[in-house]
Amino acid sequence: MIPEPLPARRELTGALENHWIEKIHEAIAQEAETGIPRFEKAFVMIRIYAPRGTNNSKVWDTSNRAINVIINNLKGIFFDDDNFEHMACGIVADWSETGMTEVRICDLEELKKCEIFR
């Protein structure tokens, strides 16, 4: 869990990207305390909780979020590469009182057994 909403791609300056890389690595380090799973094929779910306010007066276009900063910092750790042979991803956004970003990683083959993939 990262205690801020994932920014839009167009807002991602070098300094902001470095900030997010640091937050992602902190979250990975916390996960490492219990062991980091490794997936042959991973599914990465990114859930953004966005606070309502002056900067969020319009509905967010979830496809314009800076998801690559997350995906690129997970590859090589949880899965080999971010190509379609090794991972897939989804992004969801919800309004919330406070902004945050949640990242969940699971086995894609197990997820394919869900009804939605039939």
The pLDDT, as a whole number, for residue 116 is 59
Over residues 76-80, the mean pLDDT reads 95
Digit-coded pLDDT (tens) for 3-62: 999 998 998 999 999 999 999 999 999 888 888 999 999 999 999 998 876 565 556 778
Q: Torsion-angle region of residue 80: left (phi > 0), alpha (psi -120 to 50) or beta? A: alpha
CA atoms within 13 A on the CB side of 3: 1
Q: What Rg do the C-alpha atoms of the chain give, in angstroms?
A: 15
**Structure tokens, 64:** 């314009």
Angle (CA) 49 6 20, round 5°: 135
Lookup: tokens for 25: 């690595």
Listing DSSP states for 30-95 in one string gives HHHTT-----SSEEEEEEEEEE-SGGGSSPP-GGGB-HHHHHHHHBTTTBS-SSTTTEEEEEEEEE
**What per-residue confidence (pLDDT) applies to 118?**
46
Kindly tell me the sign of the dihedral angle through the C-alpha atoms of 47, 103, 67, 38. Answer: negative
Model pTM? Answer: 0.86
Strand order in the sheet with 87-96: 87-96, 42-51, 100-107
